[in-house]
A and B are shown apart, each in its own frame.
Chain A
Amino acid sequence: MLLESICEIDMVKKKNDNIPWIEKYRPKSIKDMALPTAKLNRQKVNLVEELTKFIDIFFREIKNINNKNQEIKVFNRGCLEKEKKEIIKLPQEKTAILLEGQPGIGKTSIVYALANDMNMEVIETNASDTRTREALESKLKETTKSKGIMDFISETKRKLILIDEIDGIYGTKDRGAVPTILDLAKDTQFPIIMCANEYKLNLQSLYNAIPRYEVNPLSKDEILKIITKILSLENIDNIKQLDLELIINKNEGDLRGILNDLQALSQISNETPEERNKIIMSLHRDTTEEIFSIIRDLFQKVNTLNEARAITNKSDVDYNFLYKWINENLPMFVYNKRDLSNAFEYLSIADEIFGRIKKNMDWSLLPYFYDLFAGGVAIVGKENRTQGYKPVNFPRYSTSSFFSLNAAESSLIEKIQEKYPVSQSELFRDFIPFLKIYCAISRRNLKNLSDWLDLNAKEKNLLK
């Protein structure tokens, strides 16, 4: 993502050691960036083109809409309450977009560079700000809703709103932030771009409302090109090719992390190769994967109930979520059959307690739930614990999807119900198994049946 021409201008070589390299070499224009690739709905897109298009269209349409609203307002003033027209608004997907990708790959940079190129002012809010409803509204609502006084006098800079680290919106601290952002997006006067690191369940309503671009990290070659350029600009030549590769591999495409590592490394004078390696590895940053480490700690390190409590208390992860993770990953960590059944016994009681809490709102029962699902499970099988690295799985399976039919299933059901009016559940338990047996006997049967019901290939597959 780094610069070519700007670097040369910056090469006045003041040797300004205090400025972090990431700020010093932050690209000022799109032209200087190595551009990350991006996907929208699994389709590859050109991110810069899309962003430019989004901003252009936004300003064009908002102008039209403002003019129309002006007319409506004038009309409303002179008519009865009943006949008043509603003010037109832009749909949310045209006022806001979301960029999603791992940290340090240039999401924020691309927005700033683009704003610079298009001569726009960026108004940023990030995780360091509290983002309760009130805070967000007071900070952004004025800018989103109205134009400043100066705007009437002269054509000032257009503005762009950047809501960075939106997945940092967490539980109780930032309550009401997502609905507020959606509200803002409804009647904003300026385009909104949001950045996020990963998929979050509590942002679902956001994902439904606005387009979501997945930004991919840069390739290793591109990263190597950028950092050799910077190293030569900084006149550093004591970092070996091997070390560079180690750093690049360790950071997995996180360019910001790489630059920070390099800067730290460049300040260390001669060491033996082993020590250098150790230093590189020790420059580790805890990026994500909090829940993964919680699960591993719980199963592999915890020895007492107090330790288990400490872990669950410390973590910011929703317990609602955590115990499903434990359910999914239990068999990975507990091998002994007896231990596994004991662990599941505790987990199942925890689930039962949780169900009662939710049904009767008996929140005083919550401590038992906590201690059972985390502590109880972690203590079991202390003697024969698995060691070493184990993969942790995402709990994809959901029991609430029992009755969710896919498209082929529901169209098959509809076609059968035209001829045979019984309920879906009866069809699945009684009739469709029979049809499967019937069709398995010969191909002619299948053909007869599909002709008679007028089935397509996908529906036919269900009966095979």
Chain B
Amino acid sequence: MTEENPIWRLKYLPKALDEIYGRELLISRLKEFIKSKNFPHLLFVGSSGIGKTTIANLFSKEFLGDYFDANLKLVYADLPLTQEERSQAKSESYISTNKIGSMAGKSITTPVFIQVKIKPFVQLKVLGDVPFKILIVKNFEALGSNQQGFRRLMEIYGNNCRMILLTTKISGIIDPIISRCQLFLIPPLKYNKFEELILKISKKESIDVNIDIIKIIYRITEGRISKAIDILQLSSINSNIIDEKIIFESVKKFKNEDIEKLILNSFKGDFKKSRIMFREILSNYKYNANELFQKMLEVIIDLPISRFEKCKLINLIGDADFRALDGIDSDIQISAFISKLNAFGEYM
């Protein structure tokens, strides 16, 4: 534990609002909120890995000051209930017992999610010398149609607890929620800010990166700073001077090759092997069926096959994903898709 933080991503994680780079406008607004000791419900929209959670966390900490431990809660709307929460829900008879066995872990029954995870926190009184508590909900769009229930909570307990909702897809959020929140769009970092930041880090770590290389990194990571820092760290391990070749080598390592291998193997027609492969991928990366299909889609778009074949494959994926939503056993749906790839491989 005495060692210095070996992972740069964590080392350069901002520890105060002031340290957040390149978002001056947003930060100044948030600081005004802190000064006036009041703010409305907030909704942060931006693609993943961009820093929404970090900003929300730091803002809440600075807003609540010394009392942040008791008055701040962060929940993930897309995570299933844990064992304890489920047994708590059971003992308070939110869930009927038969739901617990077969449905456990598969989908979150959202009213229960709200009742167990959110309501107890929101209902409790504020502790200490702060105007209200703060609740941060990540991946808010995952609540789906049960956002209606959440909207009532925002109205009833809004005086006691303010909510900061984070989402990647604003289209997944119902209008009444958007109208109750102050909306902040968080775009990817601008290139000049990105360049400044990377140069600053490389100076601190005493590595040599020129402007062209930073442009390449910016293009690859789409402005996601945490990923850029990861790539920088991997590239710097072998040499202090970073050139194009080293960058591409380390980027290659990031590519998830398992899924590409799975698809290529499926084209060859060995079903049993493909089945073992996809089951391994699911357990290693903890994907669900929907996420696996979307990763496959990304791979298929880059495959060296004709555009007609691509369209056909995308059609197949879409169909399989749709069925997996309705069906019970997603293993069957993924197997069915793989078996279709097997048959498809014969024509190619």
Contact = CB atoms under 8 A, between A and B. Distances in A.
Interface of A: 323-324, 327, 330-331, 337-338, 340-341, 343-345, 347-349, 351-352, 354-356, 358-359, 397-404, 419-426, 428-431, 433-435, 437-438, 441-442, 445, 448-449, 451-452, 454
Category for how many chain B residues contact A = 35 or more
Nearest to A446: B6
Given A337-B343, A349-B323, A423-B138, A452 B1 contact: yes
B105 A434 contact: no
Contacts of B336: 341, 344-345, 347-348
Interface stretch (B72-80, B86-94, B182-190): B72-80
A324 B328 CA distance: 11
A429 B340 CA distance: 27
Interface of B: 1, 3-7, 9-10, 13, 48-49, 53, 57, 74, 76, 78-80, 102, 104-106, 138-139, 230, 233-234, 237, 253-254, 256, 269, 271-272, 275, 279, 282-283, 285-289, 291, 320, 323, 326-333, 335-336, 339-340, 342-343, 345-346
Given A337-B346, A341-B343, A344-B336, A358 B80 contact: no
A351 B323 contact: yes
Nearest to A454: B1
A400 B101 CA distance: 10
A341 B234 contact: no
B138 A352 contact: no
A109 B288 CA distance: 49
B334 to A, nearest CB: 8
Contact of A425 (B269, B286, B339): B286
Contacts of B335: 327, 330, 344
A419 B10 contact: yes
B22 to A, nearest CB: 21
A348 B343 contact: no
A425 B340 CA distance: 29
Contacts of B53: 421-422
A442 B48 CA distance: 29
A404 B345 CA distance: 34
Given A356-B326, A420-B13, A429-B285, A340 B332 contact: no
Contacts of A429: 285-287, 291
Contacts of A323: 329, 332
B331 A355 contact: no
B333 A402 contact: no
Contacts of A355: 326-328
B285 A347 contact: no
Given A354-B328, A438-B7, A448-B6, A423 B272 contact: no
A123 B83 CA distance: 40
Contact of B343 (A340, A442, A454): A340
Given A340-B339, A437-B234, A424 B79 contact: yes
B272 A351 contact: no
Contacts of B79: 403, 423-425
B272 A344 contact: no
B11 to A, nearest CB: 10
A347 B287 contact: no
A424 B138 CA distance: 12
Contacts of A433: 254, 256, 285
B326 A452 contact: no
